[in-house]
A and B are shown apart, each in its own frame.
Chain A
């Protein structure tokens, strides 16, 4: 029972941690109907920036400031990339939009991975722990996971508050629901696209910065979060922001339950089993919108 609750909580925690990645992907999709296949690489950039900040500038004591700086700097990077690469899709230059976005973001993913190797070498960097091991009740918990969890929850709460209660947040909801209609309300959709992309990538980077001591810092550290992120998207349904939380928790649970009751070395597969089961029942995800072919 002890072991079970330990794994259960660990699973839920991992779920929340993956949430940031998945949230970024689905948020961007909701606004621009574009899947950014390089989200994992923005996560990775987040880990690198955080590592550099901690090691050379602010030290590990102020790790949380590092997370904020990582997120903000990637926000600008993401917005810039959106501006030069993605925006042309929406101003009529590109005909085949979906192809373009997919090919470009996939290429970006590989580009960033190799740039990371070129700059920092194929090494794994280990950032120092953010906090010492603690407990939740009688259960031991790695300090890193604990603070990452707190950080993730704070970010998610901030995001929620932002979306529901600020003017910009509501504008985003408007863009997601009715892109052309919202323009008549005077909203510059293109600018919102850029900001949305920036926010989405910043979320991924924040996740990276938070999880750096757990996932470690190396060029391919974005791969696993990418897979988890997309698993969550498929389970949740494209574009659904609330669905991401449900799906992420389910994924975390599935992984931990599978590890406890079946076999911990098959970890990767439990998420996919969940994914297949969900798709069999609801082909467009738990909260996904059915795409009418007509």
Chain B
């Protein structure tokens, strides 16, 4: 009787241990593999579509870090992509510096500006922070539009290409690589003590401070990391597409990023990735229904928020829980059958 119970327990434990960790590992590796070999199975046009999807993945994941995990609901995130793109392109065109230096300059300026904005936003939270970041976004965008002599205005700027080719393949691997690094970085941050600080700050800033968390430092840090990543995406974007315009800084872009994150699952690791890639893919597939697809998309977001808050990932999680509960019930009989043999 005793050994029967012990072996049964070990069997259960072994089962439960196998599932979460190894599943994640194999799942990710499989996904990684798919992403690497995908370009060989699809047309150039679709390679380009996925490249853009990875660009949005970077924006979505980084916004999730700032607005989702740390609770600073910024409406100016896309603006840092805009700043990264324009700084890089302008410095290269006007000052003649080499390409990679331009990109670096774009990233550095983004981090500096985000530091300033982050400090400004320390005193405000919630709706007012959204409003201030919105104002920031509009000011920058308007400046770029109005200063057409310097910035090219609504017409945009032609940015030199990063690789000496218009073949989409190198850009595909560039962006998928940056996206992978972004996701890994964010996952690493959230699993570290910094992740605890972010989450505590979002939950209750005063309590967090009382618990010794320097929320001032970490809020600004979140701003800088998230915006820096957006700046990286933007800087590379310009030199991958070849043309940048103030459209990158339109409110619509910000709304899309938020929609990707919400549908995928706010405050999850996989949510922004899933949301950005799947929705960008679907939008492309439904290209001909240009308004209807957006109507459906926004309606889905509203329904998710209203009834079913966690997005895709919540859906997964609940399904997983349901499946796990079902499976744990079964082994007892299966094992007993083995015993009886």
Which residues of chain A in 76-102 are interfacial with respect to chain B, using CB atoms and an 8 Å cutoff? 84-85, 88, 94-95, 98-100, 102
B71 CB to nearest A CB, Å: 9
B291 at the A interface (CB under 8 A): yes
CA A265 to CA B147, docked complex, whole Å? 10
CA A144 to CA B228, docked complex, whole Å? 47
Contacts A95-B309, A107-B298, A293-B206 aside, 4 further interface pairs with beta carbons under 8 A come to A107-B255, A110-B255, A291-B123, A293-B125
For A283, the chain B residues whose CB sits under 8 A away are 123-124
- With contacts A230-B131, A234-B131, A291-B125 known, is A110 near B138, CB below 8 A? no
Q: Is the CB of B138 within 8 A of A272?
A: yes
Which residues of chain A in 197-215 are interfacial with respect to chain B, using CB atoms and an 8 Å cutoff? none
For B131, the chain A residues whose CB sits under 8 A away are 35, 230, 233-234, 238
Interface centre among A88, A107, A275, by most B CB within 10 Å? A107
Q: Is the CB of A265 within 8 A of B146?
A: yes
For A265, the chain B residues whose CB sits under 8 A away are 146
CA A99 to CA B75, docked complex, whole Å? 12
Q: For the complex, would chain B's binding face be called helix, strand, loop or mixed by DSSP majority? A: helix
Q: Which residue of A lies closest to B293 (CB)?
A: A114
| Chain B window 112-156, contacts with chain A (Cβ cutoff 8 Å), 1 for yes, 0 for no | 000000000001111110111011001100110110000000000
A139 at the B interface (CB under 8 A): no
CA A106 to CA B130, docked complex, whole Å? 12
For A227, the chain B residues whose CB sits under 8 A away are 138
Q: Is the CB of A107 within 8 A of B259?
A: yes
B262 at the A interface (CB under 8 A): yes
Identify which of A98, A104, A276 contacts B127 (C-beta below 8 A): A98
Identify which of B134, B205, B298 contacts A111 (C-beta below 8 A): B298
Q: Is the CB of B305 within 8 A of A284?
A: no
Number of A interface residues in the complex (CB < 8 A):
44
A157 at the B interface (CB under 8 A): no
CA A108 to CA B297, docked complex, whole Å? 11
Q: Is the CB of B126 within 8 A of A98?
A: yes
18 interchain pairs (CB within 8 A)?
Answer: A102-B73, A102-B127, A103-B258, A103-B301, A104-B301, A104-B306, A107-B259, A109-B255, A111-B298, A115-B291, A117-B291, A238-B131, A268-B146, A272-B143, A283-B124, A291-B123, A293-B123, A293-B205
CA A212 to CA B266, docked complex, whole Å? 39
CA A230 to CA B142, docked complex, whole Å? 14
Identify which of B124, B142, B258, B291 contacts A272 (C-beta below 8 A): B142
| Chain A window 53-80, contacts with chain B (Cβ cutoff 8 Å), 1 for yes, 0 for no | 0000000000000000000000000000
Q: Which residue of B lies closest to A265 (CB)?
A: B146
Identify which of B75, B132, B146, B259 contacts A266 (C-beta below 8 A): B146
For B174, the chain A residues whose CB sits under 8 A away are none
Which residues of chain A in 258-283 are interfacial with respect to chain B, using CB atoms and an 8 Å cutoff? 265-266, 268-269, 272, 275-276, 279, 283
A294 at the B interface (CB under 8 A): yes
Q: Is the CB of B305 within 8 A of A114?
A: no
Q: For the complex, would chain A's binding face be called helix, strand, loop or mixed by DSSP majority? A: helix
Q: Is the CB of A294 within 8 A of B206?
A: yes
A231 at the B interface (CB under 8 A): yes
Nearest 3 interchain pairs by C-beta: A111-B298, A114-B291, A107-B298
B185 at the A interface (CB under 8 A): no
Q: Is the CB of B146 within 8 A of A100?
A: no
For A98, the chain B residues whose CB sits under 8 A away are 73, 126-127, 130
Q: Is the CB of B142 within 8 A of A269?
A: yes
Q: Is the CB of A114 within 8 A of B294?
A: yes
For A94, the chain B residues whose CB sits under 8 A away are 309
Q: Is the CB of B126 within 8 A of A104?
A: no
CA A234 to CA B128, docked complex, whole Å? 9
A33 at the B interface (CB under 8 A): yes
A118 at the B interface (CB under 8 A): yes
For A29, the chain B residues whose CB sits under 8 A away are 127
Identify which of A85, A269, A279 contacts B143 (C-beta below 8 A): A269
| Chain B window 303-315, contacts with chain A (Cβ cutoff 8 Å), 1 for yes, 0 for no | 0011001000000
Q: Is the CB of B127 within 8 A of A238?
A: yes
Q: Is the CB of B295 within 8 A of A118?
A: yes
B153 CB to nearest A CB, Å: 10
- With contacts A106-B258, A293-B205 known, is A114 near B127, CB below 8 A? no
For A117, the chain B residues whose CB sits under 8 A away are 291
CA A104 to CA B295, docked complex, whole Å? 13
For A238, the chain B residues whose CB sits under 8 A away are 127-128, 131
Q: Is the CB of B139 within 8 A of A104?
A: no
| Chain B window 189-208, contacts with chain A (Cβ cutoff 8 Å), 1 for yes, 0 for no | 00000000000000001100
Q: Is the CB of B302 within 8 A of A111?
A: yes
Q: Is the CB of B302 within 8 A of A268?
A: no
B76 CB to nearest A CB, Å: 13
Identify which of A35, A104, A272, A294 contacts B305 (C-beta below 8 A): A104
For A103, the chain B residues whose CB sits under 8 A away are 258, 262, 301, 305
CA A111 to CA B131, docked complex, whole Å? 21
CA A94 to CA B309, docked complex, whole Å? 9
B16 at the A interface (CB under 8 A): no
